[in-house]
Amino acid sequence: MNREMTKNSSGFTLVELMVSFFIGLIILGATVKLFKSGVDASVLVSQRAELQQSSRAAINLITKDISMAGAGLPSGGIQLPSGGAATFSRYACDQAGTCYVPTHLYPTGNFMYGIIPGPNNGVQNGVLIPATGQNADSITVAYLDYAFPLSQYTCVVTSASTIAMTAPVPAPNPPLPAINAAGVGLQAGDLVMVVGGNIATAVGEVTTVTNAVITFAAADPLNFNNTAGDPVIGNLAYIFNRSVAPPAGQGNCTATRLLAVTYFLQVPVNGQAPRLMRQVNGLTPVPVADDIIGMTVSYDLFNDTTGLNNSAQRDPLSIAGVSPNQIRKINVAVRAQSLSQDGSKAQSMQLATSISARNMSFKNRYQ
C-alpha cells in the first residue's frame, strides 16, 4: 500500500501575529504623533502671526495719534470753560452720555493738554481683564485736524452759541467740501477750536451743523458749551462778547476741527476676548485691535526748572512741579493673547515702543 504524504500549509503563528500587531501599533502611534506635532506647529505659527498682527495694528495706530499730540494747540494747552457756573468738561464719552473710562473729566481746573495720562484708567466700566486679573492704562491725545479744511472758511461769531461759515472769495479750485459733508464733514459730537475776540480761544462741541452754520448749544454731552457768558472763560460766549462785527465778506474768528482721541480696553460681556478701542471726541468708539489683554503707558518728563529727568512715570499729574506739558517721550506696551485651542492652550506676546510727540520737545535722558 502506498502511504499518501500530507503537507501542512505554511502560515503565521500567534506569536508572530502579536509581534506584527505590536510593531504596527508603534508605527501608527509614531505617525499620529508626527501628524499632531505638525498640526500643533501650524497652530502655533498661526497664533503667533495673529498676535503680531493685532499687536502691530494697535501700536501703529497709537503711535500715529501720539506723534500728533498737541499739534496746533496753543502753547501749553487750552483752558476749557472756567468760572461762573461752569463745570468740568468730559472726554471719552458719546452722544448718549456713556463714558468709557472711569475717570473722564479734564484735569487741573478743566484744562486740555496735548496728552492726558490715564494710569489704571484704561478698562471700560473699571472691570479687571479676565486673562490677567489686572487693570490697564488709557491715554488721551488732542490735536487739530488740518486734513479737513474748516480753517479755510470765513468764520463769523454770530451769537454766544453759533458761528457762521462761508466759503472764501474767490472760491479755491478744487472747491472746498461742505462743512457738513457726509463722511468727512462735521457732525454732532465733533469738537471745534474757535479763536477770536482779541485772540481768545474756546473749544465747543458741535450739537447741530448745516452747510453754513455751526451750533454749540448748551447741555452738550461733553459739557464744553456754556452760554452763560462772563465771567466764564474758554467758551464761545467769551469770544462773542469781545468780538466786533467784521466788514462784509470778512471774518472775526478762525475755526478748526479738534480731535480728542482716547485709547482704552473693552471687555465684552458676551465672552469675547478684550479688545483695544479708539474713541474720538463725542462719537461712538470703534475697535481697532482684537485680543488685547493689556496696555501700559509711561512717560519721560524733563523738569525745565530743576533740569532733572523723571523717567517712566505712570502718572505725571501726581508729580509735584511738573505737568503733561513737560512730557518728552511716551512709552507704550501692548500685550496680546491668542484664542485658546481646545480650551487649554493660548500664547501671548508684548510689543513696546517709545514715541516722541512732534509738538513736544524731546530730550534724550541718556545724555
Considering only CA atoms, which of 209, 188, 252, 226 is closest in space to residue 79?
226
> Could you tell me the pTM of the whole model?
0.85
The predicted pLDDT at position 114 comes to: 94
DSSP letters, 28-90, are HHHHHHHHHHHHHHHHHHHHHHHHHHHHHHHHHHHHHHHHTTTTTSPTT-EE-SBSTT----B
Query: Per residue in 177-194, pLDDT tens?
Result: 999 999 899 999 999 999
pLDDT at 70 over 70: yes
CB count within 10 Å of CB 6 equals 5
Across 258-274, average pLDDT: 91
pLDDT band with cut points at 50, 70 and 90 for residue 356: confident
Tens of pLDDT, residue by residue over 281-327, are 999 999 999 889 999 999 998 776 677 778 889 998 888 778 888 88
Whether 330 has a pLDDT exceeding 90, the answer reads yes
Report residue 365's pLDDT band, with 50, 70 and 90 as the boundaries.
very low
Residue 4: pLDDT band (50, 70, 90) is low
- Regarding predicted confidence, which is higher, 164 or 359? 164
pLDDT band at 361, cuts 50/70/90? low
Nearest Cα residue to 164 out of 230, 234, 216: 216
Q: Residue 342 has what pLDDT?
A: 47
- Average of per-residue pLDDT values in the chain: 87
Predicted confidence band at 117 (pLDDT cuts at 50, 70, 90)? very high
Main-chain phi, psi angles of 305, to 5 degrees: -85, -50
Nearest to 133 by CA among 142, 123, 141: 123
Q: Which of 63-77, 249-263, 331-345 has the lowest mean pLDDT?
A: 331-345
- Count other C-beta atoms under 10 Å from residue 68's C-beta: 21
What is the pLDDT, as a whole number, of residue 55?
A: 83
Q: How confident is the model at residue 44 (pLDDT cuts 50, 70, 90)?
A: low
- The string of pLDDT tens digits covering residues 133-168 is 999 999 999 999 999 999 999 999 999 999 999 998
How far apart CA 165 and CA 151 sit, in angstroms, is 10
**pLDDT at residue 341 tops 80:** no
